[in-house]
């Protein structure tokens, strides 16, 4: 397995270098899409060894992922690893996803966060639990954490995948469309999440509701 890592980042100068350095031992390339940051995100990522794509203005996570994939899929790699730039995902848990991809049946491995009311903000807990339960119906596979950005996906499946999402709904679009084309989904639990002092850029209930509506389109109306 040869991994190319893709990290979408917006104003994450405090954490992005640590994510890049933590990911580098597991990936042949680390690509950071700096989605119009107004801080030093791009410079910190580049100094840490990443290939940096820079947008002049913030376009949204979906646009950042799509632009980053265009670059990642030109690399010699068997899989693309996705993770967030805010240290919500611990790069030391990347081997959990790799192990499942190597020895399981999965074309697509998702690192599912452990949802505990005592360990995460209430808004995130309820939005994720309710949203994932609803979205599982549209995805066509049981998923406990549909919005997790910690993923490992076969590169050949991504090359033929038409993606259109502009915002956070990119996570759901990928899930639905990959399952529709027969990709086998596997899940591993990741526990080392960092919520203390972290402010999410997601508007929990608004974005969850919007994602559920868009899931109908991805499931039934789009190619």
In tens, the pLDDT along 91-123 reads 999 999 999 999 887 899 999 877 665 556 666
What is the CATH number that goes with domain 3-221?
3.90.550.10
Stretch (H or E) spanning 8: strand 3-9
Residue-range domain boundaries for the chain:
3-221
Q: Are 143 and 135 in contact (CB under 8 A)?
A: yes
Following DSSP, what letter does each residue of 54-69 receive, concatenated?
EESS---HHHHHHHHH
What's the average model confidence in pLDDT over 140-167? Answer: 87
> What share of residues in the chain are helix, strand, coil (percent, to 5)?
45, 15, 40
Q: Are 173 and 179 in contact (CB under 8 A)?
A: no
Q: How far apart are CA 212 and CA 215, in angstroms?
A: 5
Report yes or no on whether pTM surpasses 0.85.
no
In tens, the pLDDT along 45-79 reads 999 999 999 999 999 999 999 999 999 999 999 99
């Amino acid at each position: 397995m040869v991994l190319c890592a893709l990290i979408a980042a917006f104003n994450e100068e405090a954490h992005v270098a640590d994510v890049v350095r933590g990911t580098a031992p597991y990936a042949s390339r680390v690509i950071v899409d700096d989605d119009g940051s107004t801080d030093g995100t791009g410079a910190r990522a580049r100094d840490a060894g990443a290939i940096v794509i820079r947008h002049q203005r913030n376009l949204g996570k979906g646009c950042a992922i799509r632009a980053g994939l265009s670059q990642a899929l030109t690399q010699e790699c068997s899989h693309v690893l996705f993770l967030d730039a805010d240290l919500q995902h611990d790069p030391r848990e990347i081997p959990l996803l790799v192990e499942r991809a190597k020895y399981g049946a999965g074309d697509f491995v998702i690192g599912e966060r452990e949802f505990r009311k005592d360990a995460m903000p209430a808004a995130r807990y309820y939005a994720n639990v309710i949203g994932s339960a609803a979205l599982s119906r549209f995805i066509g596979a049981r998923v406990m954490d549909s919005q997790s950005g910690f993923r490992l996906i076969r590169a050949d499946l991504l090359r033929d995948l038409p993606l259109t999402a502009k915002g956070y709904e990119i996570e759901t679009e990928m899930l639905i469309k990959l399952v529709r084309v027969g990709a086998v989904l596997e899940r591993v639990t990741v526990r080392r999440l960092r919520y203390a002092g972290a402010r999410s850029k997601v508007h929990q209930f608004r974005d969850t509701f919007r994602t559920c509506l868009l899931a109908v389109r991805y499931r039934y109306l789009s190619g």
